[in-house]
Amino acid sequence: MTAVRLAALLALLLAGWPVTLPAATVTSREAADISVTLYRAPDRGSGAMDRRWPGGYALISETRTIAIPAGESVIRFEGVAEGLLPETAIVTGLPRGVREKNRDARLISPAGLVDAYLKRRVTLRRTNRETGRVTEQQAIIQAGPDGGVIVQTAEGYEALGCSGLPERMLYSGVPADLAPRPTLSVVAISDRPVTATVQLTYLAQGFDWSANYVARMNPDDDGRMGLFAWLTIANGGAQSFRDARLQVVAGRPNKEEAASQPVPSRAVLKLRCWPMDITSTHPRSVFTRLPWPEGEGEEMMFENADNIVVTARRRERRILNEPMAVPVAPAPAAMMAEQEELGDLKLYRVPERVTVAAQAQKQVAMIDRPDAAFDRVYSAGADSGSGDYRPMPFLLRGRNSKAKGLGLPLPAGGVAIFEEVAGEPMLVGETDLADLAVDEQVELPIGESPDVQWRLTKVRETRRRQDWLAEFTNARAVPVQAEIIVPFDLVDRPPGTERRRGGWALPVTIAANGTASLPYSIRLDRGR
Distant-in-sequence, close-in-space partners of 100: CB < 8 Å, separation ≥ 6: 186, 187
CA distance 517 to 83: 60
What string of DSSP letters covers 308-363? ------TT----TTSPPPPP---SS-S-B-EEEEETTEEEEE-SS-EEE-TTEEEE
- Residue 256, pLDDT > 90, answer no
Place 312 in a pLDDT band, splitting at 50, 70 and 90.
very low
Cβ atoms 359, 232 nearer than 8 A:
no
Percent of the chain with pLDDT over 90: 37
Please give the DSSP secondary-structure letter assigned to residue 301: -
In angstroms, the first-to-last Cα distance of the chain is 100
SS3 110: helix
Please give the DSSP secondary-structure letter assigned to residue 501: T
Cβ atoms 8, 376 nearer than 8 A:
no
pLDDT value of residue 266:
59
CA distance 487 to 505: 9
Taking residues 87-100, report their average pLDDT. Answer: 84
β-strand pairing of 480-486 with 375-381: parallel
β-bridge mates for residue 35, sequence order: 61, 245
Cβ atoms 336, 368 nearer than 8 A:
yes
pLDDT in tens, 348-394: 999 999 999 998 999 999 999 999 999 999 999 988 777 889 999 99
Cβ atoms 271, 160 nearer than 8 A:
yes
pTM for the model stands at: 0.71
CA distance 47 to 463: 45
Pick from 328-332, 336-340, 421-425: least confident: 328-332
pLDDT in tens, 275-311: 554 445 545 555 455 554 444 434 433 333 333 333 4
pLDDT value of residue 284:
53
φ, ψ dihedrals at 404, nearest 5°: -100, 10
478 CA to centre of own chain: 43
Place 313 in a pLDDT band, splitting at 50, 70 and 90.
very low
β-strand pairing of 156-159 with 134-143: unpaired
Pick from 66-80, 126-140, 304-318: least confident: 304-318
User: In degrees, to the nearest 5, what angle opens at C-alpha 343 toward C-alphas 340 and 349?
Assistant: 25
β-strand pairing of 354-356 with 338-342: unpaired
pLDDT in tens, 6-23: 455 455 445 554 444 456
β-bridge mates for residue 518, sequence order: 470
Cβ atoms 392, 375 nearer than 8 A:
no
- Residue 255, pLDDT > 80, answer no
251 CA to centre of own chain: 16
Question: Which residue, among 481, 466, 480, 491, has the nearest Cα to 383 in the 3D structure?
Answer: 466
Please state, in angstroms and as integers, the Cα–Cα distance from residue 187 to each residue in 98, 105, 253, 263, 299, following that order: 6, 17, 32, 27, 38
Cβ atoms 472, 453 nearer than 8 A:
yes
Cβ atoms 312, 363 nearer than 8 A:
yes
Cβ atoms 418, 215 nearer than 8 A:
yes
φ, ψ dihedrals at 423, nearest 5°: 80, 0
- Residue 420, pLDDT > 60, answer yes
Place 268 in a pLDDT band, splitting at 50, 70 and 90.
low
pLDDT in tens, 148-189: 788 888 888 888 877 777 778 787 777 766 666 788 888 888
